[in-house]
Structures are given as C-alpha cells and as structure tokens.
C-alpha cells in the first residue's frame, strides 16, 4: 500500500493459548512479527492453562520491546493497540488484554478488540487478498470451521466440528504414538515417509459439520489389538494413515461447501493449514475443480500476532474501537 505519514501503525498482541506473540504493522505491511513459545508444556503432553498465563506474563513485556526495536518504531509513533479478546484460555487472554489496555491508556491511543478466529481468516489479507465472497476452512488446535467470508470482516460460520478439532485429532493421535506435544507438525513430518495403509474409518457427519472424537478411539482400539512394538515399527505408516483420514474429511467438507454455495475462491487457515498433505491436496483439487486457492505462508498459519494486527488495521480504518472496560471472553463465535 501507498505509505504516508497518516498510515496507521498498529501494535498487535496475541495471547489466546500458549504462545505470546507481538506484531507491528504499518498499514497492511508487517514490520515485525515475533513469538515467544512456551516449551514448559511439553513435559505435560498438553497446555496447562495456569502455567500458560504465567509464561505470558514473563514474555509479554520483553517481546513488545523487541518488536518495537525490530520494526524500528518508537512507541510514541503507535496509532493503536490491537489484542485478541477471545476465544481462548481465559487466563492467557487476561494477560494480553490487560497489557493492551494499559498500553493504550498510557499512550492515549485507541484499543481494538480482535476475534482470534476472524484473525486466522484475515491472515489472508496480509498477502493473497482473495476476492469476496470466498470460503475459508479454518483448522486449528481448538477449532474446525467452514467460514463464508462475504466481505472483509463479515463472516458467517457455515460448518464446524461437533467435538474435537482437526488439530486436536492430530495431537491426540501423535500422543498415542508417543510423540511429544504438539504432535501435529511431527506427525506431518513422519507421514511424509509413510504409506496410508491402515484403514481408519472416516468419521461421518451430515452436512458441513465435522466430528473427530471417534477417530481417536478407533486408532486407540486398533493399536491396542496389535503386538508389542507395533507402533515403533509402523510409525510412519500410522502417521500417514491418520493424516490421510483427517485430510480426506476436510477436503470432502470443503468441496461440499464450495459446491453448495457456488463459490470457487477457496482458502485455508489456522495451524493445521501448515500440514503438507492438506496444502498439496487443496492445490491439486483447485486445479481439478477450477478453484482459485489461497494458502497462507507458514508464519501466518499457526498463531501469530500479524493476523491480529491486520484485523486491527481494518478496524482502525472504520474507527471500530473498544473502550477500556474490555474484558476477554473464552468462547466467542466468529
Ligand atoms: O492455530 P494454531 O496455531 O493454534 C490454535 O488456535 O489452536 O493451531 C495449532 C494446531 C495444533 O493442534 C498443531 O498440532 C496443529 O495446529 N499443527 C499441525 C501442523 N502444524 C501445526 N497439524 C498438522 N500438521 C502440521 N504441519
Ligand atoms: Zn489459532
């Protein structure tokens, strides 16, 4: 975009789960996009909410300072502070929202609330900018959503999971196979060397909704019936088989959505959109079906603050500000 002195500079904070993230955007240009991960949860095999909040408190101030340095921006130059209001872990959200409120109050600049799930979709406005309307499959550790995006921030939920999210299915399967948390990325890497030869049943739900909780149980029963050492000997094939079922379900529902709504601009978003098999299959299907497909860069798939910043930027342009009574919300529809 054309830069001038009036282009807003937004500082964005994301703290909905276990990563503290801070980004600085000038207009829609990302000047800094930093993250502090929390390895403390690995030994528990999942995110421990209380520990996550404490880690956010440790990381947030140094991360904001570093982001200002990386972006070469002085805090006096900031136009507004955007933060994730929800959905997410309430303790984690409280840290980010309160830090954002204090900074906005201290600098006498506006505060902007951002819905984390909207932001995953909006990550596309940083680079690809799909035309409206488009359909986005948002797949993360906590959500699996089919979203009809009518206009930039006008989004309608047209399908979602009835139980576990796709990322959760990957993480739970990975845990069963003895892989460290979060297992999704490792399962993906191992699957690349395996063959999808184990016939895990595809969960069946009508319409545009999903269900993944039965898959975990069927994997568990399957491995329990095998000889000792089976998992170690067949790890890559097991990973490939799980990945194949999850990706097949996602692709089927996405195709149904595209056909039902007659839309051929198709995007994916969220942590699971980093999955190599999903990315390849969406591209192949796009070519077959004549879709225009939009796949985010890896840094904008998993949780990041640049996606919060881009929503912040567009809300800033429409003067959509929050007041200082803003409270985080754990459950918040798109
Ligand atoms: O969007 P995200 O970073 O956080 C949430 O909002 O939940 O998504 C995290 C999820 C985790 O379940 C993680 O295992 C999964 O995304 N994930 C992957 C891959 N990279 C991240 N799942 C499969 N393949 C990957 N390459
Ligand atoms: Zn997320």
**194 CB under 6 A from ligand 1?**
no
pLDDT(2) > 70: no
* Predicted pLDDT of residue 46: 83
Of the listed ligands, the closest to the CA of 247 is: 1
**164 CB under 6 A from ligand 1?**
no
Distance CA 138, CA 116 (A): 11
Determine the residue of 87, 184, 269 to mutate for testing ligand 1's pocket, defined as the one with the most ligand atoms within 8 A of the Cβ atom: 184
| DSSP code for 322 | B
Residues 6 or more apart whose CB falls under 8 angstroms from that of 147 comprise: 117, 121, 135, 136, 137, 138, 155, 156, 157, 158, 334
Residue with tokens 């139980």: 163
Percentage of the chain modeled with pLDDT above 70: 99
* Predicted pLDDT of residue 38: 85
* Predicted pLDDT of residue 4: 57
pLDDT tens, position by position, 171-187: 999 999 999 988 999 99
What pTM value is reported for the model? 0.95
pLDDT(155) > 80: yes
**243 CB under 6 A from ligand 1?**
no
> What is the residue with the minimal CA distance to atom 22 of ligand 1?
184
The whole-number average pLDDT for the span 243-247 is: 98
**296 CB under 6 A from ligand 1?**
no
* Predicted pLDDT of residue 6: 87
**86 CB under 6 A from ligand 1?**
no
Burial of 309 (0-12, 13-18, 19+ CB in 10 A): buried
pLDDT(97) > 80: yes
Q: 41 to each of 37, 48, 55, 275, 321, how far by Cα in Å? A: 10, 6, 10, 22, 34
**277 CB under 6 A from ligand 1?**
no
The whole-number average pLDDT for the span 42-47 is: 84
Percentage of the chain modeled with pLDDT above 90: 90
* Predicted pLDDT of residue 1: 52
| DSSP code for 210 | B
> What is the residue with the minimal CA distance to atom 16 of ligand 1?
271
Distance CA 149, CA 153 (A): 7
Q: How far is the CA of 302 from the centre of ligand 2 (A)?
A: 6
């Amino acid at each position: 975009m054309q830069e001038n002195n009036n282009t807003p500079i937004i500082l964005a904070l994301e703290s909905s789960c276990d990563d503290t993230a801070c980004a600085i955007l000038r207009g829609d240009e990302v000047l800094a996009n930093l993250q502090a991960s929390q390895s403390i949860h690995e030994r528990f095999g999942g995110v421990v909410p209380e520990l996550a909040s404490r880690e956010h408190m440790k990381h947030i101030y140094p991360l904001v300072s570093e982001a200002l340095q990386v972006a070469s921006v002085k805090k006096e130059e900031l136009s507004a502070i955007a933060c994730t209001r929800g959905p997410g872990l309430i303790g984690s959200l409280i840290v980010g929202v309160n830090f954002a409120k204090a900074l906005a109050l201290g600098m006498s600049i506006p505060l902007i609330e951002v819905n984390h799930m909207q932001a995953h979709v909006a990550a596309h406005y940083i680079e690809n900018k799909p035309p409206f309307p488009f359909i986005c499959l948002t797949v993360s550790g906590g959500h699996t959503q089919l979203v009809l995006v009518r206009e930039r921030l006008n989004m309608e939920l047209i399908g979602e999971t009835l139980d576990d999210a796709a990322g959760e299915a990957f993480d739970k399967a990975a845990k069963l196979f003895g892989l460290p948390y979060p297992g999704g990325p490792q399962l993906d890497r191992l699957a690349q060397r395996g063959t999808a030869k184990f016939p895990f049943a595809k969960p069946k739900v009508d319409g545009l909704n999903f269900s993944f909780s039965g898959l975990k149980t069927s994997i568990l029963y399957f491995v329990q019936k095998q000889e000792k050492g089976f998992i170690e000997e067949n790890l890559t094939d097991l990973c490939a088989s799980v990945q194949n079922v999850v990706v097949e379900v996602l692709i089927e529902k996405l195709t149904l959505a595209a056909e039902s709504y007659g839309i051929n601009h198709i995007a994916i978003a969220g942590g699971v959109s980093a999955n190599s098999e999903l990315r390849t299959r969406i591209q192949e299907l796009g070519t077959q079906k004549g879709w225009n497909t939009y796949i985010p860069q890896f840094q904008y798939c998993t949780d990041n603050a640049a996606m919060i910043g881009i929503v912040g930027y567009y809300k800033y342009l429409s003067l959509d500000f929050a007041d200082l009574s803003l409270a985080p919300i754990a459950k918040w529809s798109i």
